[in-house]
Amino acid sequence: MRTLVTGAYGQLGHELCAQLGADAIGIDCDTLDLCDGPAILRTVAELRPELVINCAAYTQVDKAEADADRCRAVNAGAVEYLVQACRQADCPLVQISTDYVFCGNPRRGRPHRESDEPAPQGVYAVTKWEGEQAAARYPRHLIVRSCGLYARPSQRQAVNFVKTMLRLGAARPELRIVADQQCTPSYVPHLARAILFLSAAAGGPPAPWGVYHVVNRGATTWYEFAAEIFRQAGMAVRLIPISTAEYGAAAPRPAYSLLDIGKYQALGGPEMPAWQTGLADYFAEWRTMEGS
C-alpha cells in the first residue's frame, strides 16, 4: 500500500517509514510547507497515495503559547487540507494525536476512554483537538492518540525524555523531576506497528473508522520513569521529586493522562507491552550501539 507519511523526519514518522519500507513516501518540511494549503493539495494529488498518515505537528508545547497562529496552521489548518486531499485521492487518513487533549479533565479513577469528552488546555492541546475534529469530519479516518513518545536510540536526531535524561544524568549528579503527572510513556516502534495494523498498511483489513488510544501498558510519573531510565542504564543519579507548579512551564500539562487501550486490544493487534518493557527494548539497542 503506497503510504504517504508526513513528518517523516520526526520520531514516529521516521519509524513508520522504516517499517513500511518501499511502500513509504516520506515527506517533511523541506518538501512540503504544511502552512501552504494549495501545496498540500498539489503534493497529495501528484503522489497518489493509497493511505495518508499525518505525523506532522507543531509539538513545542511551551513555545506554542507565543506562536499560536503557526501552531494552529500546522496542527489544525493542515489537517483540513489533508482531508480535502484525501477526499480527492479517495484514500483514508490517519491523524496522530495526543493525550494532551485531556489536559483539563479531572482524574476519573480509570484511564481515559475514546468516548470521554476532551478538555484541552493551552495552545498545543487546543489545536491538536481542532485537528482531530477536522479529521473526524472525513468518514474514512483513524485518529490515534498516544503519550510520551521516545524513538529508538539509533534515531540520533530524535529529541525525547529518555535521551534528555541520559544527557543530563551524565552531566549532573542530581536532577529535579516532576512527580505529580501520571502518564504512560510509549516506545515508538511499538506504536508504529500498532498504527500499521489499524490502518491495514501491514496487511489485513482496516480497523473500523474512529478514535483509538494506543500506548504502552501501565502507569507511571515522569519522576518514576526517570528513575527506571537510570536503573536500566546503570547510572547513579540522585532524583528530587518536584511538582508541576515548581517546574513552572509556560503551557499547561495534563496531571492525569492515562489512556485506556481496550478498544485497540479487542481488535487483536500487536501487543502493546508494559512501559518498562518498552524501555528495556530501548536499552537493548542502546547497549548494542554503546558496545559497537
What is the reported pLDDT for 109?
Answer: 83
Report the greatest alpha carbon distance in the chain: 56
The residues, any chain, with a CB within 8 Å of residue 74's CB and separated by 6 or more, are 34, 35, 56, 57, 58, 127
CA 291 to chain centre: 29
Ranges assigned E (strand) in the chain: 3-6, 24-27, 51-54, 93-98, 141-146, 149-150, 174-178, 182-183, 186-187, 210-213, 220-221, 238-242
Q: What is the pLDDT of residues 221-257, one digit of tens each?
A: 999 999 999 999 999 999 999 999 999 999 999 999 9
Place of cell 536500566: 232
Q: What is the pLDDT of residues 62-109, one digit of tens each?
A: 999 999 999 999 999 999 999 999 999 999 999 999 999 999 887 768
CA pair distance 57, 13, nearest whole angstrom: 11
Domain borders along the chain are 3-152+185-215+260-272
Pull the grid cell for residue 85: 486531499
Place of cell 516520506: 26
What is the reported pLDDT for 204?
Answer: 80
Under a CB-based contact definition with an 8 Å cutoff, are residues 40 and 34 in contact?
yes
DSSP string spanning 76-92?
IIHHHHHHHHHHHHT--
Report the candidate in 183, 165, 253, 187 with the shortest Cα–Cα distance to residue 220: 183
CA pair distance 69, 71, nearest whole angstrom: 5
What is the reported pLDDT for 106?
Answer: 73
Residue numbers of the chain with a pLDDT score lower than 50: none
Q: For the domain made up of 3-152+185-215+260-272, give the CATH fold.
A: Rossmann fold (3.40.50)
Give all strands of the β-sheet with 24-27 in edge-to-edge order.
24-27, 3-6, 51-54, 93-98, 141-146, 210-213
Residues labelled catalytic = 124
What is the reported pLDDT for 105?
Answer: 81
CA pair distance 6, 14, nearest whole angstrom: 10
CA pair distance 121, 229, nearest whole angstrom: 29
CA pair distance 209, 205, nearest whole angstrom: 12
What is the reported pLDDT for 202?
Answer: 78
Report the sign of the C-alpha dihedral through residues 87, 91, 97, 102, in that order.
positive
What is the reported pLDDT for 59?
Answer: 96
